[in-house]
């Protein structure tokens, strides 16, 4: 007897990272010392002050019961204060903010609230794979929006076919961008809001890297653009900002109607975010700015060290303005997959092939600055020897 998987699972694109993952596991099993720049998961621990807040909150019996749907009022108020302080946009904590079990959860669930079978969802390519997966699970059809270096990795709305536009329900954007590390100018968000208004599309912006920026230039929220509250929902995460990927908490902000659609989906699937983790998140959002500043400083030093080293070796690579990714073109004649495999086998460095994020990512590899400076220096030495061969 055989249990066939539902069609929605068979529609998922093949997992392109599988080959490099196999090689990585085999090398590790053979005792090879790998410098792992593959997965974008912060290597540093969650700040001690936040762990103390979690430990204290865990002793509150009120937090031992089911958390309520949209999050603790105190959490939503703290998120509203943080948001206004950071972006100058005032939100109603009661209707315009929703706690999420990590922003990935909300991103994946949003189409269940607003996409019917056959509807189109505009997804950046290369992009975070969850935009596609969530669309497919809802029966929607992902439409690729190529992000090209010639266009600053911003999508060209004018290039979208009318047939897709007519049925488009959601436009996904993600700045600072994973995997390209691009940022978007304010004028682009204004254009995106106008575009979504004209065509009746939901503007869904993933801002997981809002606080990982360099040279003192904080990225803008899409909600700062005029009229954005009419069309937009924005996803925020504490994961990257506070080294909290393991605790699973994020939040969505934006038009109340969009937030409430997502609440309806979640209310039927989960019972909210662990309350003591919401308390930990309040401590993070209310922490002095030095806390996220210290996280940024670590990545800035790594970025400067690693990217300057790559450039000296002749790699075609920009200094990221934000995020902790380095998006590098592979040398002429190589593909994303072949180069990534070679780096693993001959230099002991794990990278992510760019085509795993979509066909427009072909010709690139992504390296995550989630390894200490000593390891990045070793990676540079190995690369130097590899390139010299
Ligand atoms: C890491 C990441 C997320 C998800 O973060 P959570 O841990 O689920 O909050 C969302 N979008 C992008 C682009 C990411 O890289």
pLDDT tens per residue, range 361-370 = 999 999 999 9
Q: pLDDT: is 14 or 142 the higher one?
A: 142
Q: Is the pLDDT of residue 115 over 80?
A: yes
Ligand 1 atom nearest to CA at 100: 9
> Could you tell me what percent of the chain has a pLDDT over 70?
100
Range list for CATH 3.90.1150.10 in the chain: 7-45+290-388
Among 13-17, 223-227, 327-331, whose mean pLDDT is lowest?
13-17
Q: Which residue's CA lies nearest to atom 4 of ligand 1?
A: 104
**Could you tell me the distance, in angstroms and rounded to a whole number, from the CA of residue 61 to the centre of ligand 1?**
30
Burial class (CB in 10 A: 0-12, 13-18, 19+), 259: buried
Q: Residue written as tokens 């979509």?
A: 358
Give the end-to-end CA distance of the chain in Å, rounded to a whole number. 53
User: Which pLDDT belongs to residue 364?
Assistant: 97
Q: 65 Cβ partners below 8 Å, 6+ apart?
A: none
User: Which pLDDT belongs to residue 389?
Assistant: 82
Mapped onto helix, strand or coil, the DSSP state of residue 82 is helix
CATH number for the segment(s) 48-285: 3.40.640.10
What angle do the packed helices 103-114 and 256-269 form, to 10 degrees?
100
Average of per-residue pLDDT across 295-318? 95
Q: How confident is the model at residue 58 (pLDDT cuts 50, 70, 90)?
A: very high
Q: Is the pLDDT of residue 13 over 90?
A: no
Contact criterion met (CB below 8 Å) for 51 and 242: no
Q: Which of 79, 129, 147, 178 to mutate to test the pocket of ligand 1 (most atoms within 8 A of CB)?
A: 178
Give Cα separations from 114 to 129, 201, 335 (angstroms): 19, 10, 37
CATH number for the segment(s) 7-45+290-388: 3.90.1150.10
Q: Is the pLDDT of residue 17 over 80?
A: no
**Could you tell me the distance, in angstroms and rounded to a whole number, from the CA of residue 381 to the centre of ligand 1?**
31
Q: How confident is the model at residue 41 (pLDDT cuts 50, 70, 90)?
A: very high
Ligand 1 binding pocket includes 234 (Cβ within 6 Å): no
What are the φ/ψ torsions at residue 21 (nearest 5 degrees)?
-65, -40
Average of per-residue pLDDT across 234-257? 98
Ligand 1 atom nearest to CA at 250: 9
Q: How confident is the model at residue 276 (pLDDT cuts 50, 70, 90)?
A: very high
Ligand 1 binding pocket includes 273 (Cβ within 6 Å): no
Q: What value does the mean pLDDT of the chain take? A: 96
| C-alpha to C-alpha distance for 354 and 335, rounded to whole angstroms | 9
How confident is the model over 313-357, as pLDDT tens digits?
999 899 999 999 999 999 999 999 999 999 999 999 999 999 999
Q: Is the pLDDT of residue 304 over 80?
A: yes
Range list for CATH 3.40.640.10 in the chain: 48-285
Mapped onto helix, strand or coil, the DSSP state of residue 203 is strand
User: Which pLDDT belongs to residue 366?
Assistant: 97
Average of per-residue pLDDT across 112-134? 97
User: Which pLDDT belongs to residue 257?
Assistant: 98
What is the helix (H) or strand (E) element at residue 166, kind and residue range? helix 162-167
Q: Is the pLDDT of residue 150 over 90?
A: yes
Q: Is the pLDDT of residue 378 over 80?
A: yes
Q: 333 Cβ partners below 8 Å, 6+ apart?
A: none
Q: Which of 147, 207, 240 to mutate to test the pocket of ligand 1 (most atoms within 8 A of CB)?
A: 240
User: Which pLDDT belongs to residue 117?
Assistant: 97
The number of angstroms, rounded, from the C-alpha of 127 to the middle of its chain's C-alpha atoms is: 9
Among 61-70, 133-142, 240-249, whose mean pLDDT is lowest?
61-70
**Could you tell me the distance, in angstroms and rounded to a whole number, from the CA of residue 123 to the centre of ligand 1?**
15
Q: Which residue's CA lies nearest to atom 12 of ligand 1?
A: 208
Q: Is the pLDDT of residue 15 over 80?
A: no
The residues that bridge with 168 in the sheet, in sequence order, are: 120
Q: Two tokens at 102?
A: 């990590």
Please spell the DSSP secondary structure of 135-147, one letter per residue.
HHHTT-EEEEEE-
User: Which pLDDT belongs to residue 18?
Assistant: 79
Contact criterion met (CB below 8 Å) for 383 and 358: no
Q: Is the pLDDT of residue 203 over 90?
A: yes
Q: Which residue's CA lies nearest to atom 2 of ligand 1?
A: 208
Burial class (CB in 10 A: 0-12, 13-18, 19+), 79: buried
Mapped onto helix, strand or coil, the DSSP state of residue 318 is coil
User: Which pLDDT belongs to residue 14?
Assistant: 77
Q: Residue written as tokens 């380095």?
A: 326
pTM of the prediction?
0.97
Average of per-residue pLDDT across 302-307? 98
């Amino acid at each position: 007897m055989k249990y066939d998987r539902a069609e929605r699972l068979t529609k998922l694109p093949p997992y392109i990272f599988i080959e490099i993952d196999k090689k990585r596991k085999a090398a590790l099993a053979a005792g090879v010392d790998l410098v792992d720049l593959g997965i974008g998961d912060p290597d540093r621990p969650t700040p001690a002050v936040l762990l103390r807040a979690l430990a204290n909150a865990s002793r509150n019996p009120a937090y031992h019961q089911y958390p309520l749907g949209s999050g603790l009022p105190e959490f939503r108020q703290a998120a509203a204060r943080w948001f206004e302080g950071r972006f100058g946009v005032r939100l109603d904590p009661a209707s315009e903010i929703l706690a999420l079990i990590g922003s990935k959860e909300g991103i994946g669930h949003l189409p269940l609230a607003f996409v019917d079978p056959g509807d189109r969802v505009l997804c950046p390519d290369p992009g975070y794979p969850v935009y596609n997966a969530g669309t497919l699970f809802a029966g929607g059809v992902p439409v690729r929006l190529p992000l090209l270096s010639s266009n600053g990795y911003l999508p060209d709305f004018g290039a979208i076919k009318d047939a897709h536009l007519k049925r488009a329900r959601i436009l996904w954007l993600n700045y600072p961008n994973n995997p390209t590390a691009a940022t978007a100018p304010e004028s682009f968000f204004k254009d995106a809001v106008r575009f979504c208004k004209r065509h009746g599309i939901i503007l869904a912006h993933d801002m997981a890297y809002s606080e990982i920026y360099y040279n003192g230039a904080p990225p803008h929220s899409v909600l700062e653009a005029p009229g954005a509250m009419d069309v937009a929902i924005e996803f925020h995460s504490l994961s990257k900002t506070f080294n909290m990927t393991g605790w699973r908490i994020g939040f969505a902000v934006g038009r109340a109607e969009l937030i409430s659609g997502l609440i309806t989906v979640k209310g039927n699937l989960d019972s909210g975010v662990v309350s003591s983790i919401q308390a930990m998140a309040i401590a993070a959002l209310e922490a002095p700015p030095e806390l996220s500043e210290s996280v940024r400083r670590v990545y800035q030093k790594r970025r400067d060290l690693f990217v300057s080293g790559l450039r000296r070796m002749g790699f075609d690579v920009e200094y990221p303005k934000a995020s902790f990714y380095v998006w590098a073109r592979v040398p002429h004649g190589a593909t994303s997959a072949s180069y990534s495999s070679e780096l693993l086998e001959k230099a002991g460095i794990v990278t992510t092939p760019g085509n795993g994020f979509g066909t427009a990512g072909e010709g690139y590899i992504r390296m995550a600055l989630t390894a200490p400076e000593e390891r990045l220096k070793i990676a540079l030495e190995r690369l130097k020897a590899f390139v010299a061969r």
